[in-house]
Amino acid sequence: MCEEMKECCKVVIGQKFPEVEVKTTHGVIKLPDYYVEKGKWFVLFSHPADFTPVCTTEFVGFQKRYDQFRELNCELIGLSIDQVFSHIKWVEWIKEKLGVEIEFPIIADDMGELAKKLGMVSPYKGTNTVRAVFIVDDKGVIRAIIYYPQEIGRNLDEIVRAVKALQTSDKYGVATPANWPENDLLGDKVIIPPASSIEEKKQREEACKKGEIECYDWWFCYKKLE
């Protein structure tokens, strides 16, 4: 069991997404190059199985938010330990019965190799994948990892929010507070990284006096983005 758990912990935040060639409903794709070469972020998410109720609601939800992801220069790609023909039939069913056309590819990891490499299969939860989410940036680096149990559907708006927050942090060199951009204390303002020296502390205090930034204290400063 210990060895199995070690396998699940190979991939961590800040690591380059492992290079792998996968079969999908859109043909063979090489990750992460397929997206990196286009300068795009991507969200890879797993679902336990095709033709299951919770997974169906998630796929409809992801598709309905697909434009929001694309506005963030981010693509979607699903995965489960099913074969391509099962994915195709399920996508056809969703379009026919629910009126939603799934536009993003779905990986057919029928041998479960990628799922195990990414820690999507828990030795305590059977042989299907849990609901894992990997947010990968345009350089192929894993920026966030989120896991949900099989019995609980994801909050898809949170995944959109996480992508936006990561990109905002990269662009402006800031951190984002809880529930940003609707934080209880700061609203849509962002947090300036804490001062790392006495001189920088003094600069923060001066900037606060001038009204250039706002502070609760020298280590807790924030501002509104332009």
Q: Are 105 and 77 in contact (CB under 8 A)?
A: yes
Q: Are 169 and 163 in contact (CB under 8 A)?
A: no
Annotated catalytic residues are 55
CB atoms within 10 A of CB 221: 20
| Token representation of residue 151 | 């019995």
**Which strand (E) or helix (H) includes residue 208?**
helix 198-209
Q: Are 171 and 201 in contact (CB under 8 A)?
A: no
Give the chain's radius of gyration (CA, Å): 20
Cα–Cα distance, 23 to 140 (Å, whole number): 19
Q: Are 154 and 46 in contact (CB under 8 A)?
A: no
Q: Are 39 and 74 in contact (CB under 8 A)?
A: no
Q: Are 46 and 108 in contact (CB under 8 A)?
A: no
Q: What is the DSSP letter of 17?
A: P
Task: Characterise 190 by phi-psi region: left (phi > 0), alpha (psi -120 to 50), beta (else).
Answer: beta
